[in-house]
Amino acid sequence: MLLVVDVGNTQTVIGLYESDDSPELIDHWRIATSAERTADEYGLMFEQFLAQRDLVLEDAVTGLAVASVVPRLTATLRRMSARYLGFDPVVVGPGVRTGMPILYENPKEVGADRIADAVAAYDLYGGPTIVVDFGTATTVEVISAAGEYLGGAIAPGIEISLDALYSRAAGLRRVELAEPPASAIGRNTTESIQAGAVYGAVAMVDGLCLRVQDELGPCTVISTGGLGSLIAPLSSTIQHHEPWLMLHGLRLIHRKNTPEVT
């Protein structure tokens, strides 16, 4: 079986596939990202997750693919794989085959998460395509009709923006963003913050996507990431929401970097 691990700045998402040839996501888990976590802690957590399905980690898992934006945890997961699985993981980064030309001025600057999103989006929808990932940062990835990574935009994520608001404005309190606000006109402080955060994010994303399409022409627009399910229905440009887009991309990248058994 194949484990895929998306290490973000705030959360880490783990997915389980039958193999890198099988598109069905069997199970998934989400944990808080902690740079202090050790290789043994990861090994124990993976063992516990797989035990929910009566699977034994070292017996069941034959492949591991990782996209990480936390270098310290990239090294930790390499050590975990060596000790508990007995093989090296496929870690998205320089030297790893993705099948997608990276037309950034310096391709090494493109985060592993952005590449995995782009690879998955092109596999599912072709191009030209825009991916909006609502993570710690809100990122916009642009893929050409020929399947080239063209670049994109990076903006503060919704939760980062709210954290900055709370820390700088003493009279404002934290609010929940579980559902779309009933109106863009808040009738109290909580509703006003919710309206500003949610509809402000919608306006920013739609504005960026329309500007990209002014330059590139009509594109398929996909959202993913933690708050994507909240924003996508309110957007006039997002056409598809794919919550497990990055896991799909990691599976594809693992397949490109693993020799076929004959």
Domain at 107-248: CATH architecture: 2-Layer Sandwich (3.30)
Question: What CATH number is given for 2-91 in this structure?
Answer: 3.30.420.40
Asked whether the whole model's pTM tops 0.85, one would answer yes
Question: CA-to-CA distance for 218 and 105, rounded, in angstroms?
Answer: 24
Give residue 259's pLDDT.
73
- Strands of the chain (E only): list them: 2-7, 11-17, 25-32, 63-68, 90-91, 129-134, 137-143, 149-156, 220-225, 240-241
Angle, CA of 147, 101 and 258, to the nearest 5°: 95
Report pLDDT digits (tens) over 52-96. Answer: 999 999 899 999 999 999 999 999 999 999 999 999 999 998 889
Give residue 167's pLDDT.
84
Question: CA-to-CA distance for 31 and 12, rounded, in angstroms?
Answer: 5
Question: CA-to-CA distance for 60 and 244, rounded, in angstroms?
Answer: 22
Give residue 198's pLDDT.
93
Give residue 95's pLDDT.
86
- By annotation, the residues acting in catalysis are 113
Give residue 230's pLDDT.
92
The low-confidence residues of the chain, meaning pLDDT below 50, are 261-262
Report pLDDT digits (tens) over 152-182. Answer: 999 999 988 988 888 888 778 888 888 888 9
Residue 39, token pair as written in the block: 């290789």
192 Cβ partners below 8 Å, 6+ apart? 186
Q: What is the DSSP string of 44-60?
A: HHHHHHHHTTT--HHHH
174 Cβ partners below 8 Å, 6+ apart? 162, 166
Give residue 178's pLDDT.
81
Topology agreement, domain 2-91 and domain 107-248: yes
209 Cβ partners below 8 Å, 6+ apart? 130, 132, 140, 219, 221, 237, 238
Q: Write down the domain spans for the chain.
A: 2-91, 107-248
